[in-house]
């Protein structure tokens, strides 16, 4: 079984039910919906198609709602405009411009904070403008690195003061839509601090959004605040595109490794994103460097990798997914399974003990969880075996598809009688063909079933003996 999960961005190349079906069949673990694009109607159709394909192939697939956030974009430009080195242009607070020397940027409150010390990057950093002056709402610039610009290209302002809430009004409406659609994860873009996390969580709670929250780390400020961000989110995404513009790109690989390590120590999900197989947008085969990139991300210990343009707009989306899966499986052949990490809570200590038993006895790990936290903790210790996860809540099953090494099996009733609970667990595992009567099983559960944070028991069962005695 492949333990590192694959998140697939659904876009124009993959939004048909037929292609989504192929993606699920070929191993998509999580479907990412990019709310920077598309309509609620189009996203609803994709969610419906993913759920249908998941049911058809009997594979749990998570839905990740990726909010647009405070992504800064140009306004409307007439056609495409070529900027050449040394050209002088102006950036103004406007929705549109038909003058090739005037670049529209709708967010006046950001422009006013720019100084000569700031640089303006456009289109993922490929174009760079030096600021000459900022007077009367007109930011005059000189082109340092040229290129072609067009409407709505992304803009980055490293070091500039951006006093905007982490959730835009569009994000808030999208969250409400996500509640109605039952999305499994919510990714909040451009998280900078713990305050951003708390603001987003407060709003989500207000509108009844209880899906796990993932913080996208793509601003320089976030890098220095990773530990405090991790303390209150369920996962993080290393968004290397914007991050590689905000900071020196040579720092990104080291930062990526550090964030993955920090997330693992905290028992939180980590996802590596952007340009994993970028060449496969137009080519049926990747570069060797791209395959190595995936392998290194796996060996670093990330929970998942994310395909973006490769599957959203690429010519070979299913092939890209297959290549990623093959690269992961090969890397996992030399993965350092069972890792000795800190045990700061009861649940962590129990999870560690379970992982040790799996290693020493060759037992299959089973986790019964209410919120998913116990499954995350067992996953954190990286046992060399598929982790079968049972819940008391049907809505939890799809969420678990994003956790490293975890396979959601089914639902068992909450039961305070341990013998009855274990009997129900065994019955569900056998009926789903997850285990056989010849297996040795290590079960992690809580005697206060249905209550989050009460995991307090480990039980090792020789299934042959157990079934004979029952």
User: pLDDT tens digit string along 263-313?
Assistant: 999 999 999 999 999 999 999 999 999 999 999 999 999 999 999 999 999
Annotated catalytic residue, options 274, 311, 442, 449: 274
Residue 112, pLDDT above cutoff 90: no
- Is 32 known to be catalytic? yes
* 72-156 homologous superfamily: PK beta-barrel domain-like (2.40.33.10)
Residue 17, pLDDT above cutoff 70: yes
pLDDT in tens, 185-238: 999 999 999 999 999 999 999 999 999 999 999 989 999 999 999 999 999 999
**Encoded tokens for 19:** 């292609």
The CATH-assigned architecture of domain 5-68+166-332 is Alpha-Beta Barrel (3.20)
Work out whether strand 127-135 and strand 119-122 pair parallel, antiparallel, or are unpaired: antiparallel
- Cut 0.85: pTM above it: yes
- Is 216 known to be catalytic? yes
Annotated catalytic residue, options 51, 216, 240, 399: 216
CA distances from 257 to 53, 240, 272, 298 (A): 34, 12, 10, 10
Rounded Cα distance, 147 and 155, in Å: 14
Residue 449, pLDDT above cutoff 60: no
To the nearest 10°, the Cα dihedral for 231, 233, 234, 239?
-110
Q: Where are the domains of the chain?
A: 5-68+166-332, 72-156, 346-469
Annotated catalytic residue, options 32, 153, 219, 376: 32
pLDDT in tens, 345-359: 888 888 889 999 999
- Is 380 known to be catalytic? no
Top CATH class of 346-469 equals alpha beta
Topology alike, domains 72-156 and 346-469? no
The pLDDT of residue 448? 61
Residue 10, pLDDT above cutoff 90: yes
Instruction: Give start and end residues of each alpha helix (H) in 313-417.
Output: 317-332, 346-361, 373-380, 396-399
- Is 219 known to be catalytic? no
The pLDDT of residue 341? 77
Residue 343, pLDDT above cutoff 80: no
Spatial contact of 4 and 303, defined as CB atoms under 8 Å apart:
yes
Annotated catalytic residue, options 2, 45, 71, 73: 73
Average pLDDT over residues 38-62: 97
């Amino acid at each position: 079984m492949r333990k590192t999960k694959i998140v697939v961005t659904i876009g124009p190349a993959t939004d048909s039910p037929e292609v989504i079906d192929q993606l699920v069949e070929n191993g998509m673990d999580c479907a990412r919906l990019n709310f920077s694009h598309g309509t609620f109607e189009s996203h609803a159709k994709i969610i419906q198609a993913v759920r249908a394909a998941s049911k058809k192939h009997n594979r749990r697939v998570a839905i990740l709602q990726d909010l647009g956030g405070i992504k800064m974009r140009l306004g409307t430009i007439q056609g495409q405009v070529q900027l050449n080195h040394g050209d002088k242009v102006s950036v103004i607070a406007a929705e549109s411009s038909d003058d090739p020397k005037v670049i529209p940027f709708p967010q006046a409150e950001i422009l006013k904070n720019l100084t000569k010390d700031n640089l303006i990057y456009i289109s993922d950093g490929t174009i760079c403008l030096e600021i000459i002056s900022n007077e009367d709402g007109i930011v005059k610039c000189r082109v340092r690195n040229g290129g072609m610009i067009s409407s709505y290209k992304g803009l980055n302002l490293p070091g500039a003061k951006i006093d905007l809430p982490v959730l835009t009004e569009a994000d808030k409406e999208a969250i409400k839509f996500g509640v109605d659609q039952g999305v499994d994860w919510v990714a909040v873009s451009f998280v900078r601090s713990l305050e951003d996390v708390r603001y987003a969580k407060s709003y989500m709670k207000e509108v009844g959004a209880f899906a796990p929250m993932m913080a996208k780390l793509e601003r320089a400020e976030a890098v220095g605040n990773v530990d405090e961000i991790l303390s209150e989110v369920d996962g993080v995404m290393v968004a290397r595109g914007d991050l590689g513009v905000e900071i020196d790109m040579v720092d990104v690989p080291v930062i990526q490794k550090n964030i993955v390590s920090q997330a693992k120590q905290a028992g939180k999900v980590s996802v590596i994103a952007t340009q994993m197989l970028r060449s496969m947008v137009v080519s049926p085969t990747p570069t060797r460097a791209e395959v190595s990139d995936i392998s290194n991300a796996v060996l670093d210990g990330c929970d998942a990798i994310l395909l973006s343009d490769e599957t959203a707009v690429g010519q070979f989306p299913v092939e890209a997914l297959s290549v990623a899966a093959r690269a992961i499986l090969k890397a996992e052949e030399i993965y350092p399974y069972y890792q000795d990490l800190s045990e700061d809570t009861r649940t962590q200590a129990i999870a560690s003990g379970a992982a040790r038993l799996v290693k020493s006895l060759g037992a299959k790990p089973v986790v019964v969880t209410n919120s998913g936290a116990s499954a995350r903790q067992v996953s954190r210790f990286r046992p060399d075996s598929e982790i079968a996860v049972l819940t008391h809540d049907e809505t939890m099953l799809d969420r678990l598809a994003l956790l490293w090494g975890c396979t959601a099996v089914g639902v068992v009733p909450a039961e305070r009688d341990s013998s009855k609970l274990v009997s129900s667990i065994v019955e569900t595992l056998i009926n789903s063909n997850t285990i056989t009567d010849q297996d040795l099983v290590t079960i992690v559960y809580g005697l206060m079933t249905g209550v989050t944070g009460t995991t307090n028991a480990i039980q090792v069962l020789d299934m042959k003996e157990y079934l004979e005695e029952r």
